[in-house]
Every structure is written in C-alpha cells, then in structure tokens.
Amino acid sequence: MPDADDLLIGLDPEQREVALALRGPVSVVAGAGTGKTRAITHRMAYGVATGVYKPTEVLAVTFTTKAANEMRVRLRALGAEGVQARTFHSAALRQARYFWPHVYGGEFPEVTQSKFSLVAEAMRRLGQRADTPLLRDLSSEIEWAKVSNIVPTAYAAAAGPARREVADLDPGQVANVLAAYEEVKRERGRIDMEDILLVTAAILADDERIAATVRQQYRWFVVDEFQDVNPLQSTLLDLWLGGRNDICVVGDPRQTIYSFAGASPRILASFARRHEGAQRIELVRNYRSTPQIVAAANAVFARAATTDDIRLQSQQEPGDPVSYIGYPDEPAEASAVASEIALLHRRGMPYREMAILFRINAQSEAFEEALGEHGIPYVMRGATGFFNRAEVRQAVTLLRGSARGGEAEGQHLVDDVRAILSAMGHTDEPPSGAGAVRDRWESLHAIVSMATDLAESDPDAGMTTLVADLDRRIEQAHAPEADGVTLATLHSAKGLEWDAVFCVGMHEGMMPSVHADTPEMVEEERRLFYVGITRARHDLMISWAATRKAGGRGNRQPTRFLDTLLPSGHAARQVSSQARQRKVAKCRVCNTVLAVADRKLGRCADCPATYDETLYEALRTWRKEQSTEQGKPAYVVFTDATLQAIAE
C-alpha cells in the first residue's frame, strides 16, 4: 500500500484540497479534464491510507458501468481495494434485491429493459393506437416523469411548455397513459429501470431498521458527474446519507447532457444550500488537452447564453492545430478518417487511444465500413455495431428470405426493399422523436439507401445481389477487439479520454440535432459538442460531409457551434462547390477517374502515390503553417487540388 502522503503527489493545490477534505460536504465544480475524477479517486485512496475510511464503507457513484470499472482499477492501483464503485442503478439494485423478500415477500420481480410492450398495452386499454415512434416518445416521457419524481396526477401541471409535445396527445392524455402503464406493469408483476431506484427509496423511507442497516454499511459518499444527477437519484442519495454530511460531489455544469431525460444541474448548484458548511472547490487547470484543443473548447461557449465563466487553462505543451474539415460526402469523410487513423497507428499510436465520436449511432455505418476496408479493428461503445443491431439483423433476415423466394432480378429493388421493411413499421418519413426511435429509423433507412445506391450503380441488381452485398459487408465488419478504435456516440463518451479524437458528421441538422427545437435544447446540444471535443488529449479533428453519398448533391453546413472557430462563410462555400466537383469521383492523389469499386476509398487501389506517410507529414506541416496564432485553426477542405498541392 502506498504511503498516504504519496497519494498527494501528482495533485495540484486545489486537487489536494479535495483529497484532504475527507469529511464532507464538498462540492467540486470544474471544467472538463481538470482532474475531478482523479481528485476524488485520490481522495478515497487517501482516506483509506490514513485510516479515516474503512474501504467497504465507501461508496463511489459513477455515471456508467465503464466509469465504475475504471475507477475500481484506479483505486486498486492506489491501494484502496474494497471501495465500492457503482452506478446509481447497480447500487440500488443490489439493495432492492436484498431487502425485497423482507419487505414485500416473494421473489424480486423481473426488470423490463424496454417499456414498449407495456406502453402498447396501456394504450390499448385507453382505446388508442400507437405506432413505434409514439411508443418510444411515450416511453421516454414516462422515464422523464419518474426520474423527476412526478406522479401521473401531477404530470399535466408539471410537463408544461418545457417538454416537447408527444405526437398530438395533450398532457392530460399522456398522464392517463402514465397511470395505465403503471397499472399494466403492476398486474404483470414487472418493474422497470426507474422502479429499481423508486423501490429502494421507498424501502429506505418506510423502514427505519433497514435504513439504519444500509447507513451503517455506507458511511462515505462520492458522486462523479453530479451535474447530470436527476431528482430521483438525489432523493436516493439523501436517503443513503440520512442527514449525514459525508459526501463529496464533482461536476461540470457545461457538461450537462441529460437534462431532457430529467437530469437537473440545479441539484449541483444548490448543493451548498442543502448541505450546511459545504466547502466549494474550483479547478481550472486542464491537464488533458493541448492549448489548441482547450482554446477550441473555450470558444464553443464564446457566444453562448451562459452566465458562468469557466475558462479552461491547458497545462500541456502546444500541439498541432485542431482540424476542421469539410468533405464532399460521407464515404470520403469516413475514408479520410480511416486513413488518418492508419497513419497515426503507423506512427506508434495504439488503436485504443483513438476514438470516432458521432451524434447518433446510425452515423457509425460509413465509418465501420471504412475501418473494415483499411483493416483497422474497432470497438463500438454503448451500442452494437451496425450489422449487430436488432433491427438490422431482422431486416437482413427478411431480405434474405425474400431473395430465397426468388422475386425477378433487376425489377423494383428499392420498392421491394421498402415493402419488406414496411412490415417492420419502417416508413420513408423520419419519426418526430430523437433517441432510440430515430436511431432505429436511421438504421433501416441506411438499408434502403444501400439498395438505392446499388440500383443506381447496377440497374440489373435484384434482391439476391443486395443480399450478397450485405453479406460481404457483414463479413468485412470487424469483431470487437481489445485494441480497437472506439466508435461511440458523444453521450457515451462522457468522462473518457483518448489521444486522438475525430468528431465526425458535425453538420447542421445533426449537431445540433434537427429535433432540438427549443433554445434550451440547442444549448444542451452545444454542451454535448463541448463534451465531445474535450475528450481529446493531442489530436482533435472535427469534420462533416456536404452530402451523404458519393457524388450526391448536398450543401449541409458545418455545425453552428463552429461559428466562433471557422473563418465566417468560408466553410459552407467551399464544401458546396466541392460537392459539385465530385460528380465524377477522382483519385484524391493521382486524379485518375475512379472505378465504382474504388470510390469509397477515394483513391485508386494501386495508386502509385498513395496517401502515405510523406503526404501525411506534408499535410500536418501545411496545417500548422496555416494556423496564424495559437488556437486559431487551420481550415482545410480536402479537395483533389489541395492534396495535390500539398503533395508537391
């Protein structure tokens, strides 16, 4: 076990203050990468090493299972084995399971992961029909109400204008669905994810003996990512504390990205009021990222409607400028990102130190394909790879069945695919809600697009050809490996860091999402963007594509969150003119007109002057020269001409 004082080495004065404040209440409010997680981890280890904490009496609450695992590993390395690091759910589930038989008798009920079928039954009982998008919207509304401690009878008053409309249901109707849902769930002997916390809270609130037992077990509390705590989690935490004050919370208001799911940054803001004598510690030094990345992060809020002014100060040596790159189309974007990853890897960066981050899961497909073509292993976080998604597997099975049935080749491929997918509830019209329902639609839509592409490039192609094409793609998809590039949504990247981060698909309509239709929602998207770019240690590349498919027309604009970073008007113009030029795809290096098979790569398969190390070095130097001052970005649009010029 390390000497207690050794645990303070490697902490700055403010972090040390956090570590020394062993008896709470303490709140640490600080920006991304300032060492909040590190400070609380050292604090727990220091508490254990000095004998103030008994390890098993410490409960660290983290946001994700991955974060909990990482914290456990860190704690073990610091000699604090035995400290519990869990998510709210896992900590509550453990207690609820244990005490359930004593309180309610019988077996612990089955936990439903999806509310769908229960909501559908509730709607049936109310004599209403619900399609998949509506079921999703209602499910997330039920979740919001429950984590906000809002019972059905209070829903209509509480929902107000802050909530988005659920189809054309008025708040009173939604409240009825909420009530009916609870009834159906009770009758079927099920509980849902929120119930795990509600049940635990109820047991602790109603049974003094159980509450005393639990409070004896957990004496010291630490909560990471406290800005995204919701009222239900806060209630549970208060019950665990039982009036004691031995709690330390850390958070960053600028990283609140779940407020539309019920998180309340006010809980962090009001911590001092609710915990008398609370010590508030601020950290401003950013240890994670280069000054260039930190400058970009600070600039994201330059014109934001925020009152706080947390400006980060990088402690790192200057690095390369951040790249902002518009590509003519998604395959070109994906291929360039894969090339860059391959080169970084050749220069010694392990794949696991790189991440591709996007707004929604459905954006991963082009990147999975490009990584596959480059033979780069990758790991999908928080979601299954495109071809492993339930809806995609189901769709492929249906298409395969249809191909086996023999339909004529080359007839109406796209219409046939549409007809088959319509059996899964898919329509051409995107759903109104964001989140899972939108992801599912995007996945199925991607299959329709593949069929469209195929039909365009090969008018004779029929279902058999499509299925063969899908099989080839499935085969190419890489199995998850430990040393792989991380593919993740911005949401699931929270709290993590990589040497190189590619924030891709960052165009208007995706970032902010087209569904962010209130100023509050746009600000939440801005925070999400900030979370994304603050994940990078050394290399940050932000990109977008003017249109989805190669050679297509489109003039998607880069996200407005880059307005303070990009030279005004510059980006959009270049991207759209570039998109027009790309009607004939040419090799990015030698300018030869490409065969269809090579278009995705953006260069000929056996190009004499491939996008190689020399070109890469030249590109980096060029980018550096373009950056006029520290933090001011080099703005690059990959055109054939640019690359040619750099190469020469």
Residues contributing to the site for ligand ATP (CB under 6 A):
10-12, 15, 30, 32-38, 252, 255, 287-288, 495, 497, 534
What are the φ and ψ backbone dihedral angles of 16, each rounded to 5 degrees? Answer: -65, -40
Q: Provide, rounded to whole angstroms, the least separation between the CB of residue 43 and ligand ATP.
A: 12
Among 495, 532, 558, 602, binds Mg ion (CB under 5 A): 495
Q: Provide, rounded to whole angstroms, the least separation between the CB of residue 94 and ligand ATP.
A: 25
Q: Which residues contact 589 (CB under 8 A, 6 or more apart)?
A: 603, 604, 607, 609, 610, 611, 615, 643, 644, 647
Q: Which does 314 bind (CB under 5 to 8 A by kind): ligand ATP, Mg ion, none?
A: none
Q: Which does 319 bind (CB under 5 to 8 A by kind): Mg ion, ligand ATP, none?
A: none
Question: What count of residues does the chain have?
Answer: 648
**Radius of gyration of the chain from Cα atoms?**
26
Which is closer to ligand ATP, CB of 294 or CB of 604? 294
Q: Provide, rounded to whole angstroms, the least separation between the CB of residue 37 and Mg ion.
A: 3
Q: Which does 24 bind (CB under 5 to 8 A by kind): Mg ion, ligand ATP, none?
A: none
Which is closer to ligand ATP, CB of 99 or CB of 498? 498
Which is closer to ligand ATP, CB of 35 or CB of 385? 35
CA distances from 572 to 334, 508, 509, 576, 646 (A): 19, 11, 14, 6, 22
Q: Which does 194 bind (CB under 5 to 8 A by kind): ligand ATP, Mg ion, none?
A: none
Q: Provide, rounded to whole angstroms, the least separation between the CB of residue 17 and ligand ATP.
A: 12
Which is closer to Mg ion, CB of 176 or CB of 489? 489
User: Which two three-digit tokens encode residue 459?
Assistant: 């008018």
Q: Provide, rounded to whole angstroms, the least separation between the CB of residue 11 and ligand ATP.
A: 5
Q: Which residues contact 101 (CB under 8 A, 6 or more apart)?
A: 107, 108
Rounded distance between C-alpha atoms, residue 536 and residue 529, angstroms: 12
Any contact of residue 543 with Mg ion (CB under 5 A)?
A: no
Tell me: is residue 35 an annotated ligand-binding position. yes
Q: Which does 15 bind (CB under 5 to 8 A by kind): Mg ion, ligand ATP, none?
A: ligand ATP
Q: Which does 86 bind (CB under 5 to 8 A by kind): Mg ion, ligand ATP, none?
A: none
Full DSSP string of 112-150? ES--HHHHHHHHHHTT----HHHHHHHHHHHHHHHHTT-
Tell me: is residue 32 an annotated ligand-binding position. yes
Q: Provide, rounded to whole angstroms, the least separation between the CB of residue 587 and Mg ion.
A: 44
Which is closer to ligand ATP, CB of 140 or CB of 227? 227
Any contact of residue 37 with Mg ion (CB under 5 A)?
A: yes
Q: Report residue 382 CA to chain centroid gap.
A: 8
β strands within 319-393, DSSP E: 323-329, 354-358, 378-380
| Among 543, 511, 542, 541, CA closest to 527 | 511
| Among 506, 541, 533, 530, CA closest to 304 | 530
User: Which two three-digit tokens encode residue 203?
Assistant: 């047991």
Q: Provide, rounded to whole angstroms, the least separation between the CB of residue 502 and ligand ATP.
A: 17
**Which residue of the chain is nearest ligand ATP when measured via CB?**
35
Q: Which does 431 bind (CB under 5 to 8 A by kind): ligand ATP, Mg ion, none?
A: none
Q: Provide, rounded to whole angstroms, the least separation between the CB of residue 295 and ligand ATP.
A: 17
Residue count at the site for Mg ion (CB under 5 A)? 3
Q: Provide, rounded to whole angstroms, the least separation between the CB of residue 33 and ligand ATP.
A: 4
CA atoms within 13 A of residue 222's CA, in its CB half-sphere: 31
Where b means 16+ CB within 10 Å and e means fewer, 253-275 reads bbbbbbbbebbbbebbeebeeeb
| Residue 383 parent element (H or E) | none
Rounded distance between C-alpha atoms, residue 395 and residue 443, angstroms: 10
CA distances from 584 to 396, 551, 639 (A): 31, 7, 13
Tell me: is residue 465 an annotated ligand-binding position. no
Q: Provide, rounded to whole angstroms, the least separation between the CB of residue 167 and ligand ATP.
A: 36
The Cβ of residue 161 has, within 10 Å, a number of other Cβ atoms equal to 7
Q: Provide, rounded to whole angstroms, the least separation between the CB of residue 354 and Mg ion.
A: 20
Which is closer to ligand ATP, CB of 257 or CB of 604? 257
Q: Which does 130 bind (CB under 5 to 8 A by kind): Mg ion, ligand ATP, none?
A: none
Stretch that binds Mg ion, among 1-9, 37-45, 107-115, 356-364 (CB under 5 A): 37-45
- The residue with tokens 């056996």 is 606
Tell me: is residue 600 an annotated ligand-binding position. no
Stretch that binds Mg ion, among 53-61, 109-117, 487-495, 537-545 (CB under 5 A): 487-495
Q: Which does 321 bind (CB under 5 to 8 A by kind): Mg ion, ligand ATP, none?
A: none
Dihedral sign from CA coordinates of 34, 259, 428, 559: negative
Which is closer to ligand ATP, CB of 297 or CB of 417? 297
User: Which two three-digit tokens encode residue 302?
Assistant: 């330059």
Tell me: is residue 33 an annotated ligand-binding position. yes
Q: Which does 34 bind (CB under 5 to 8 A by kind): ligand ATP, Mg ion, none?
A: ligand ATP
Q: Provide, rounded to whole angstroms, the least separation between the CB of residue 154 and Mg ion.
A: 34
Q: Which residues contact 373 (CB under 8 A, 6 or more apart)?
A: 335, 338, 476, 600, 601
Rounded distance between C-alpha atoms, residue 125 and residue 185, angstroms: 13
Any contact of residue 578 with Mg ion (CB under 5 A)?
A: no
Rounded distance between C-alpha atoms, residue 623 and residue 620, angstroms: 5
Tell me: is residue 306 an annotated ligand-binding position. no
* Binders in 315-354 for Mg ion, by CB under 5 A: none
Which is closer to Mg ion, CB of 495 or CB of 512? 495
- The residue with tokens 């990584």 is 371
User: Which two three-digit tokens encode residue 272?
Assistant: 């001092």
Q: Which does 252 bind (CB under 5 to 8 A by kind): Mg ion, ligand ATP, none?
A: ligand ATP
Which is closer to ligand ATP, CB of 255 or CB of 259? 255
Q: Which does 410 bind (CB under 5 to 8 A by kind): Mg ion, ligand ATP, none?
A: none
Which is closer to ligand ATP, CB of 316 or CB of 557? 316
| Among 196, 155, 161, CA closest to 177 | 155
Residue 222 DSSP symbol: E
**Contact positions toward Mg ion, by CB under 5 A?**
36-37, 495
Per the annotation, binding residues are: 30-37
List, as residue ranges, the binding site for ATP.
Answer: 30-37
